[in-house]
Structure 1
Amino acid sequence: MYLQLTGTPVRLLGSMHLFPATSRRTPPWVTDAYDWADTLIFESDPATILPFLKAGAPPRAGQLQPLMSADAWTQLHMLWPAEGPLAPLEDLRPWAALIVAPMLLQQVVEGVEPRMLRSAIAQAKPYRYLETAQEVVAALESIPLDALAAALAMLVADRGEPQRTLEQMHTAWLAGDLQAVQRIAAGSPMFNLPGIRQAILDVRNRAWATRLEDLAATSGRTLVVVGALHLCGPGNLIECLARPVEPML
Structure 2
Amino acid sequence: MYLHITGTNVRLLGSMHLFPASSRRTPPWIEQAYDWAEALVFESDAPTILPFLKADPQRGAQSLASFLSADTWTRLQAAWPADGPLTPLADLRPWAALIIAPTLFQQLVEGVEPRMLRWATGEGKAYEFLETAQEVAGALESIPLDAVAAALELLMADLSEPQRTVERMHEAWLDGDLSAVHRIAVESPMFNLPDIRRTILDGRNHMWAARINELLARPERTLVVVGALHLCGPGNLVERLARSVEPVFAGE
Map 1:92-171 → 2, pairs under 5 A: 92-171=92-171
Residue in structure 2 matched with residue 46 of structure 1 by the alignment? 46
Amino acid in the other structure paired with 1:146 = D
Gaps of 5+ in 1: none
Q: Is the partner of 1:216 in helix, strand or coil?
A: coil
In the alignment, what sits opposite 1:29? 29
Runs of 4+ in 1 over 6 A off after TM superposition: none
Q: Is the Cα contact below 8 Å between 1:169 and 1:181 reproduced in 2?
A: yes
Summarize deviations over 1:99-119 as a string: whole Å, max 9, x none: 110111111100000100111
State whether residues 68 and 149 of structure 1, in contact with CA within 8 Å, keep that contact through their aligned partners in structure 2. Answer: yes
> Which of 11-20 and 212-221 deviates more?
212-221
- The 5-angstrom pairing of residues 15-94 of structure 1 reads 15-57=15-57, 58=59, 60=61, 63-94=63-94
Residue ranges of structure 2 left out of the alignment (5+ in a row): none
Query: Any conservation in 1 of the 2:65–2:90 contact (CA below 8 Å)?
Result: no
- Give 1:11's aligned residue: 11
Equivalents in 2 of 1:136, 1:86: separation in Å?
17
1:191–1:197 CA contact under 8 A, matched in 2: yes
Match of 1:242 in 2: 242
The CA deviation at 1:125 is: 0.5
Task: State the match for 2:201 in structure 1.
Answer: 201
Shift of 1:29: 1.0
CA deviation map 1:201-244 (0-9, x unaligned): 11110000001111111111000000000000111100100100
Contact (CA 8 Å) 1:230, 1:236: kept in 2 or not? yes
% identical equivalent positions: 69
Structure 1 residue matching 2:41: 3-state secondary structure = strand
Q: Look up the SS of the partner of 2:23 in the other structure.
A: coil
TM-score w.r.t. structure 1 length?
A: 0.97
Matched, 1:221 2:188: no
Within 2, Cα distance between the matches of 1:238 and 1:114?
A: 24
* CA positional deviation for 1:59: 5.0
Q: Distance in 1 between matches of 2:75 and 2:153?
A: 9
Residue in 2 that maps onto 1:210: 210
Residue identity matched to 2:202: D
Q: What letter corresponds to residue 136 of structure 1 in structure 2?
A: V
Q: Which residue of 2 aligns with 1:191?
A: 191
Distance (whole Å) between structure 2 residues aligned to residue 237 and residue 2 of structure 1 = 13
- The answer (yes or no) to whether the contact 2:106–2:163 under 8 Å persists in 1 is yes
Q: What is the DSSP-based 3-state SS (H/G/I as helix, E as strand, rest coil) of the residue aligned with 2:225?
A: strand
Shift of 1:46: 0.6
In the TM superposition, residue 25 of structure 1 has moved relative to its aligned partner by: 1.8
CA distance in 2, matches of 1:90, 1:240: 37
Bigger CA drift: 76-85 or 171-180?
76-85
Question: What one-letter code is carried by the residue in structure 2 that aligns with 1:173?
Answer: W
TM-score if structure 2 supplies the norm length? 0.96
